[in-house]
Amino acid sequence: MTPAKTSGKEKKARLDFGLLPNLVGYHLRMAQIAIFRDFAQGPGRHEVTPGLFGVLVIIEANPDLKQSDLARATHLDRSTVVTVIDNLERRGLVERRAALNDRRSNAIRLTAEGAALLRKLKREVNQHEKRLLQNFSDAERGQFFELLQKVFPEHR
């Protein structure tokens, strides 16, 4: 064995991953972990996860959104949504008002500060997406979109 073969990279390559490389679920999870890590170094520097970015986008796109609708859109349970919105409110990024036609429920909106942060985040998410897709041709990009949406479409 030559010294070059004892580098960390080579040691890793010699580990046996068993059946994992045959599982699409494994490759998807590995892709997801790598994406999360890249996101953390870009948009994530503003203390925003991919999930929280999605929440902000949906709030912006649906002014006076109800918490129950947000829960449905994000696949979060209602108590988690309440915690998430509490947090965003504390950070001054969203505000709750009593809904016009239903005083029991709240309407959520971005504040000016929330809208400004979201503009910044969108630019960084755009760059993150470009890094994510840097090894893809245009055709492959389209295929990837289609195939990802074939995974449990009934759960969306």
Q: Which residues bind its own copies (CB under 8 A)?
A: 8, 11-12, 15-20, 23-35, 37-39, 50-51, 54, 57-58, 60-62, 65, 69, 72-73, 75, 122, 125, 128-129, 131-133, 135-136, 140-141, 143-145, 147-153, 155-156
Nearer to its own copies, 98 or 148 (CB): 148
3 vs 153, beta carbon nearer its own copies:
153
Nearer to its own copies, 77 or 90 (CB): 77
The tokens for 108 are: 């959520």
For residue 26, the minimal CB distance to its own copies (Å) is: 7
Compute the distance between CA of residue 20 and CA of residue 43 in angstroms, rounded to an integer.
Answer: 31
Non-local CB neighbours of 89 within 8 Å, separated by 6+ positions: 95, 96
Burial of 35 (0-12, 13-18, 19+ CB in 10 A): middle
CB of 73 to its own copies, least distance (A): 5
Q: How far apart are CA 74 and CA 4, in angstroms?
A: 48
